[in-house]
Amino acid sequence: MAKDEFKEYRLVGTRPDRPDGLDKVTGRARYGADMSAPGMLWAAVVRSPHAHAKILKIDASKAEALDGVKAVVTRADFPTGLTGEEWNLQENTMAGEKALYDGHAVAAVAATSKLLAEEAARLIEVEYEVLPHVIDVDDAIKPDAPVIREGAANASVPEGMPPNVVQYLDFGRGDIEAGFAEADLVSEKTYKTEATHQGYIEPHACLGQLGEDGKGEMWVCTQGQWFIRKMCSDVLGLDTAQLRVTPSEIGGGFGGKTTIFMEPLSLALSRKAGGKPVKLVMSRSEVLRATGPTASASMDVKIGMKKDGTITAARAEFRMQGGAFPGSPVDMALYCCFAPYKLENVQHIGYDVLANRPKCAAYRAPGSPMGAFAVESLLDEMCRELGVDPMEMRLKNAVVEGDTASYGPKYGSIGLVETLEATKAHPNLKAELGPNQGRGMASGYWFNHNGETSVSLAISEDGTAQVSIGTPDIGGSRASIALMTAETLGIPYEDVRVNVVETGALGVNEPTHGSRATFASGKAAVIAAGQAIKEMCKRAANEWGIDPEAVEWADGAAQPAGPNAGKFPPMTIAEIAGKMGSTGGPISGHHESVPEGVGASFGCHVVDVEVDPETGHVKILRYLVVQDAGRAIHPSYVEGQYQGGAAQGIGWALNEAYIYDENGKLQNSVFLDYRVPVASDLPMIDTVIVEVPNPGHPYGVRGVGETGITPPLPAIANAIQAATGARLHDLPMSPPKVLAAIKAMG
């Protein structure tokens, strides 16, 4: 259903200013913490200082005695009887019998000022019995590890597995041993990645109000207002429709704001304080201690390769901990890790393991970067050993349309080969390298996602259009949806306003996640615009006294479809809209679906590094991202997604890690110690947008947000080996580890 692949559009593919740009550069944009209300209270949260402890007693009497303290809540204020993920969300929001990680909420207080709330929180006395804890995934999977929760394993886990294994996965095809027997080289290595945080600039913030009648409102920084509504309702036992959730502007999410962490606390406090609105804003330390990072991983990979680079068999066994609750992305990691390669013999095994760490959340292509680190690193090591060019190996084994993916289904239209060819042709690959410098490359993959989507479009009286979407704008989706809508309607980009609306205004929308907003909300907006066009053609036909089928839409106006339709001057959208009240009423369109036609996206990154042999510091000299966008609706924001993914991946590769002490307490809970890359750490990241249109979208969109974080981890490891000869198998590749690896070579 894609429009002409090679058509040059009037607006699609151009780079206008983003509609929210002025508000953001002037500080007018309202983020989560900017919301206030009359009579508002402030909340503070009491958090466990222990990694694993029984909660014996909570005494809030001193806090409650303070003048200005209006409410204290503990788990006793929440409904009982929840099961499954609903129980997990409630337990993570507020600990019940046990604190499960350092930073786990155990009580919350609301008071008339922020300082008073914080003082009251300090006065709440909690008596603990400290229990043995476990942090590392390889320790957590041992049979004698401290048991975090009995009975948490789901039905996939066979009897006899270690107690902290809560999900087990095994899939593949072919004859793996026969495949290895065909190979000239079989290599098997173990790789580890650390948990990293999404590192969004804006901490979690919300303003919640809930009356004794069960009716409430929430203003919140989130990727998905309907998810917030459903999850808060589940955790608090509310009727979903009685809670209205309005999303603020969002200062980054990257998957970490697709779930709840503290939002129900503001509602519970509000209800207990007589319905007064309660504001809750996390500190950076709370964000790092108590909101979802991604999982940490320990991964065994075994690959067989012929001398010519053909992969004969591949096996991955991944262990991931996603904190004290089920939900690590071990399944996604396995699905993605071999996705770029044509494989007849492949096996995947995965374990989701509990540990005393915060409940993990999605993080940009959840799981895929870890799997890529293991697989793309081993492939590079094998290419070195066999003397095979890593690009030619990738091209030789590359999947194309119709191939069966390593994880099961057949691929539709994909652009991996085009991406690799564009990479091969880029001048960065010909740049000369000096002493202590090396080049590495890696591929990456993400499925992309559709999800529940509901969009409304209304033509205004002057012929401009407004589009109501349910997917918060994180990466410029208002601009891309305005471009597609204006392109379809034949009107200027500036004549379309795209509003991200609250939960009462549309049917259920999944969050902005899975790289879906421009694909799914955009597709729905185009269909809704088509409905409005149909209605406007009908209005013109009525005016002209001809059959609606004899009217077509072109250049923003209804026109007779041919000479037989009659001679009428074009009737513009403004003319039709100006008369709508007397020609049949409002003109609008609405579309809701779980859209079909998702298009997957492959990427290839090439990085040049220089390693200081005396300190182990890795400097990024050049960085190239090449990725298939399907069609870049607004190329600047596509490039921004590519650069952002690469920047986060570089941080994950080189510096970011959660550092726990021997008591399981997080030691680096501020950005001074949790080191994300800053502008001075990075060169300008070069990008190439490959466009193999997705036939499942009217303008060919695939979704571009996630694939870009996948290749940096292995690409940098491969470059470090090229520069130094030293291979690192554990992240982060921080200076002490790089230096130790260099010294270990003698």
- Contact pick of 447, 544, 553, 660 for other proteins (by CB under 8 A): 447
DSSP codes, 112-171: SSHHHHHHHHHH-EEEEEE-----SHHHHTSTTSPPS-TT---TTSPTTS-TTEEEEEEE
Six-digit token pair at 193? 């990645």
Which residue's CB is nearer to other proteins, number 686 or number 706?
A: 706
- Contact pick of 87, 128, 411, 671 for other proteins (by CB under 8 A): 411
Cβ-Cβ contacts under 8 Å for 112 (sequence gap 6 or more)? 41, 42, 68, 70
At 530 the three-state DSSP class reads helix
Residue 446 binds other proteins, judged by CB under 8 A: yes
Residue 597 binds other proteins, judged by CB under 8 A: yes
Residue 410 binds other proteins, judged by CB under 8 A: yes
Based on C-alpha coordinates, what's the Rg of the chain? 27
Which residues in 571-608 are b (16+ Cβ under 10 Å) and which e?
Answer: bbbbbbbeebeebeeebbbbbbbebebbbbbbbbbbbb
- Contact pick of 39, 158, 504, 581 for other proteins (by CB under 8 A): 158
Give how far the C-alpha of residue 318 lies from the chain's centroid of Cα atoms, to the nearest Å.
21
At 216 the three-state DSSP class reads strand
Rounded-to-5 percentages of helix, strand, coil across the chain: 30, 25, 45
What string marks each residue from 274 to 313 as x (binds other proteins by CB under 8 A) or -?
----------------------------------------
- Contact pick of 27, 409, 563, 746 for other proteins (by CB under 8 A): 409
- Contact pick of 247, 255, 264, 651 for other proteins (by CB under 8 A): 255
In terms of Cβ atoms closer than 10 Å to its own Cβ (0-12, 13-18, 19+), residue 118 is middle
Residue 331 binds other proteins, judged by CB under 8 A: yes
Q: What is the 3-state secondary structure (H, E, C) of 306-329?
A: CCCCCEEEEEEEEEEECCCCCCCC
Cα distances (angstroms) measured from residue 142 to each of 174, 354, 658: 30, 11, 21
CB of 695: closest distance to other proteins in angstroms?
A: 11
- Contact pick of 52, 133, 197, 513 for other proteins (by CB under 8 A): 513
CB of 224: closest distance to other proteins in angstroms?
A: 11
Residue 132 binds other proteins, judged by CB under 8 A: no
CB of 451: closest distance to other proteins in angstroms?
A: 9
- Contact pick of 31, 87, 128, 168 for other proteins (by CB under 8 A): 168
Residue 365 binds other proteins, judged by CB under 8 A: yes
Cβ–Cβ under 8 Å, residues 675 and 336: no
CA atoms within 13 A on the CB side of 674: 25
Six-digit token pair at 334? 């396995």
Q: How many residues bind other proteins (CB under 8 A)?
A: 49
Residue 156 binds other proteins, judged by CB under 8 A: yes
Residue 412 binds other proteins, judged by CB under 8 A: yes
Which residue's CB is nearer to other proteins, number 26 or number 83?
A: 83
Q: Which stretch binds other proteins (CB under 8 A): 165-173, 492-500, 534-542, 613-621?
A: 165-173
At 231 the three-state DSSP class reads helix
Q: Return d(Cα 287, Cα 285) in angstroms, integer.
A: 5
Neighbours of 349 (CB within 10 A): 17
CB of 711: closest distance to other proteins in angstroms?
A: 16
Q: Which stretch binds other proteins (CB under 8 A): 166-174, 475-483, 663-671, 710-718?
A: 166-174
- Contact pick of 706, 711, 722, 726 for other proteins (by CB under 8 A): 706
Residue 201 binds other proteins, judged by CB under 8 A: no
* 56-85 positions binding other proteins, by CB under 8 A: 84
Q: Which stretch binds other proteins (CB under 8 A): 40-48, 446-454, 490-498, 615-623?
A: 446-454
Residue 170 binds other proteins, judged by CB under 8 A: yes
Cα distances (angstroms) measured from residue 436 to each of 439, 618, 648, 725: 10, 10, 24, 10
Residue 556 binds other proteins, judged by CB under 8 A: no
- Contact pick of 3, 114, 426, 449 for other proteins (by CB under 8 A): 449
* 598-617 positions binding other proteins, by CB under 8 A: 598
Residue 424 binds other proteins, judged by CB under 8 A: no
Which residue's CB is nearer to other proteins, number 437 or number 448?
A: 448
Q: Pick the closest to residue 658 from 158, 295, 173 (CA basis).
A: 295
Q: Which stretch binds other proteins (CB under 8 A): 126-134, 279-287, 328-336, 458-466?
A: 328-336
CA atoms within 13 A on the CB side of 652: 35
Residue 516 binds other proteins, judged by CB under 8 A: yes
Q: Pick the closest to residue 105 from 251, 261, 316 (CA basis).
A: 261
Per CB under 8 A, residues contacting other proteins are: 84, 154-156, 158, 168-172, 198, 254-256, 258, 329, 331-332, 335, 362-366, 405, 407-412, 446-450, 513-516, 593-598, 696, 705-706
